[in-house]
Amino acid sequence: MENNYVNHNFGLKGKVAMVTGGNSGIGKGIALGLAQAGADLFIYTHSNRGVEEMRQEVEALGVKIAFGQGNLDEEADAMGAVEKCVEAYGKIDILVNNAGTIHRAPLLEGDNDAWKKVIDLNLNSIYYISKVAGKYMAEQGSGKIINIASMLSFQGGKFVPSYTASKHGVAGLTKAFANELAEKNIQINAIAPGYIETANTAPIRADEKRNSEILGRIPAARWGQPEDLAAAAVFLASNASNYMNGHILAVDGGWLVR
């Protein structure tokens, strides 16, 4: 009885999940969690880094995996990414907008081209991809879109104005899409990771003073791992979240409540 309940509410067997930037870091942790719950994967990335290793890991779980490659900071590639998923599997049930970048520089020394690149990848691509995916999901009468927000969806931060602006925008787009698509049985929510050990946070972790300050504020007293986000993603991708719309779910070890 328990297994039937779990499988019905949290199982993803027969679902197709597209994860952007899903071959490393947070994206890979989430993608593997979805695969462990039974979903077939379509990973869209700008590079082939770690692709074969990931293929072996996923196929060992007994599910399928396919890949697409392009530059999501370019409108044409972003608009065509979902089409490649549908070509591979015939549908898309779950979209995880994970791909992103960061540029660190003091506000008064910031580079305008870097600003544009961060906004294009972190925010504009989500609008383009979600719009296309939403049309397919509306036609089939169901779908899940999971955006990756940030602690800087709530805070201002320092030296990362483009990243902060983009992640505030991600939270806004999540709510805006949810308001329009909920009636079509499409749930759009976001995960706001706390401080997670990834390539993006390597410079901070290497700064002994900054690293100590961060750990001192996290009640869990540790940096998060990409795998810590997997269960939240499975929940938001599953039937268990069918009455949840426009929510920004913090997975942060308690950072925001400190």
Q: Which residues are catalytic?
A: 163
CA distances from 102 to 4, 119, 152, 201 (A): 42, 10, 12, 10
Q: What angle do CA 82, 76, 186 make, to 5 degrees?
A: 35
Alpha helices in the chain (DSSP H): 2-10, 25-36, 51-59, 75-89, 112-119, 125-140, 161-181, 202-206, 208-217, 230-237
Which pair of structure tokens corresponds to residue 255? 């950072």
DSSP 161-192: HHHHHHHHHHHHHHHHHHHHHGGGTEEEEEEE
Which pair of structure tokens corresponds to residue 239? 């039937």
Contact indicator for 193, 146 with CB cutoff of 8 Å: no
Helices and strands, number each (H, E), in the chain: 10, 7
CA distances from 92 to 41, 44, 110, 139 (A): 10, 13, 38, 11
